[in-house]
Amino acid sequence: MTIDAFIDALPKVELHVHLVGSASVETVLELSRRHPGSEVPTSEEELRRFYTFVDFPHFARVYQAVNALVRDPEDVATLVLGLARDLAGQGGRYAELQVTPYAHHMVGMPMREVTQALDLAARRSLADHGVEMAYIFDIPGEYGEEAARITVEHALQEPPAALVGFGIGGIEQERPKYRDAYRDAFTAARAAGLHSVPHGGEMSGPETMWEVIEGYGAERIGHGINCLSDPRLVAHLRETQLPLDVCPTSNVRTGQVPDLAAHPLPRMLEEGLYVTLNSDDPPMFATTLAGEYRAAAHVLGLGAAELAQLARNAVNASYLTTDRKQSLLKEIDTLAPLA
């Protein structure tokens, strides 16, 4: 079996992908034509140029523009089902989809209607595509106290049935201004039984990772690629095996690393860190979950055994039931010796 055939056959779990960022080019074009007057282009050629990012703040502005096209619950369900369809074609079995309730609040969508759309989409994702969908509600980190409050209220008052986690994304450098509000939000979410899965160490240094560990009680960290400059942090991550959801192509496209060959993923593995492989915002970054495995193989030099271990890591770091984890791990273990 070639490495590409192995990647195609490998059962995959996606732990770091965003609702709006998962929208296919075709879906975004449909939405931009449905809602004229936005800054999002209505032609494919222009949209692909629109998705050429100068840096992370530029990416954040583009993301917000696309986000503003999601204006009703039907749009929300369409995005979830589109991701399920795309993952099914790549061997994807399960995803923990990051949803930003504050964005829907800003365009006037009631909490209950958003939740109903997410519930319906989760049922149809499994029935129509065989992909189990779970949700993580995240705070957009540059929006402050109101965003934190709305996100917690939605998570605690009108949660979708498949809500498993609570996170924070956006521009990390903005978070210190709202430190107490964000810590309080995570305290409330964790008290309600939600897992803490914040972004950290993507566009800022180890200090952000220490904050999510000590202030948010992080159980998994999105990205974490800038941990390597702090030996004490690396030692902590190695000792605790705190999972880091790494998204290589995303880091290149938003300017966090110069190119894929320079990505720190191989060194993170050499350091004994617990890593999973993910796509983040796949159509915006011209990638897929399977594409991230191909990049790890063809650019970063990982072999089939290492790719299989990354797939196992994702299963074990997920919030699937024990039975579902065991079933997927058995599939991976059966396939791995064939590569």
pLDDT at position 35, please? 83
Residue-averaged pLDDT of the chain = 95
CA distances to 41, 205, 278 from 83, rounded to whole Å, are 21, 31, 13
What token pair was written down for 145?
Answer: 């106290």
Per-residue pLDDT of 130-156, as tens digits, reads 999 999 999 999 999 999 999 999 999
pLDDT at position 55, please? 87
Handedness of CA 45, 46, 48, 49 (dihedral sign): positive
Tell me the pTM. Answer: 0.94
Q: Is the pLDDT of residue 118 over 90?
A: yes
Edge to edge, the sheet with strand 92-99 lists 12-18, 92-99, 132-140, 163-169, 195-196
Q: Which of 262, 233, 248 is nearest to 292 (CA)?
A: 248
CA–CA distance, 281 with 19 (Å, rounded to integer): 8
At 13, phi and psi to the nearest 5? -125, 130
Q: Which of 92, 126, 97 is nearest to 10 (CA)?
A: 92
CA–CA distance, 225 with 248 (Å, rounded to integer): 9
Q: Which of 221, 266, 264, 226 is nearest to 244 (CA)?
A: 221
| Other CB atoms within 10 Å distance of the CB of residue 227 | 27
* Domains, the chain, with CATH or none: 3-338 (3.20.20.140)
pLDDT at position 339, please? 66
134, amino acid identity? A
CA–CA distance, 112 with 158 (Å, rounded to integer): 6
- Residue that the structure tokens 């993580």 belong to: 136
pLDDT at position 337, please? 80
Per-residue pLDDT of 234-291, as tens digits, reads 999 999 999 999 999 999 999 999 999 999 999 999 999 999 999 999 999 999 999 9
Given the DSSP bridges, would you call strands 221-223 and 244-246 parallel, antiparallel or unpaired?
A: parallel
pLDDT at position 292, please? 98
Per-residue confidence band for 321, with pLDDT thresholds at 50, 70 and 90? very high
At 237, phi and psi to the nearest 5? -65, -40
Please identify which of the residues 14, 202, 211, 292 carries the catalytic annotation: 202
Q: Which of 101, 84, 110, 192 is nearest to 143 (CA)?
A: 101
According to DSSP, residue 244 is labeled E
CA–CA distance, 248 with 246 (Å, rounded to integer): 6
What token pair was written down for 171?
Answer: 């521009």
Give the up-direction half-sphere exposure of residue 38: CA atoms within 13 A in the CB hemisphere.
26
Find out whether 103 and 75 touch, Cβ atoms under 8 Å.
Answer: no
Query: Which is higher by pLDDT, 106 or 199?
Result: 199
Q: Is the pLDDT of residue 30 over 90?
A: no
pLDDT at position 64, please? 86
pLDDT at position 27, please? 85
Find out whether 218 and 237 touch, Cβ atoms under 8 Å.
Answer: no
Per-residue pLDDT of 154-177, as tens digits, reads 999 999 999 999 999 999 999 999
pLDDT at position 179, please? 97
Residue 153 is a catalytic residue: no
Name the β-bridge partners of 168: 139
Between CA 208 and CA 268, with CA 211 as vertex, the angle to 5 degrees is 55
Q: Which of 8, 31, 30, 24 is nearest to 80 (CA)?
A: 24
Name the β-bridge partners of 210: none
Find out whether 206 and 227 touch, Cβ atoms under 8 Å.
Answer: yes
Q: Is the pLDDT of residue 67 over 90?
A: no
Per-residue pLDDT of 202-228, as tens digits, reads 999 999 999 999 999 999 999 999 999
Percent of the chain having pLDDT more than 70?
A: 100
Per-residue pLDDT of 70-82, as tens digits, reads 888 999 999 999 9
- Residue that the structure tokens 């030692």 belong to: 235
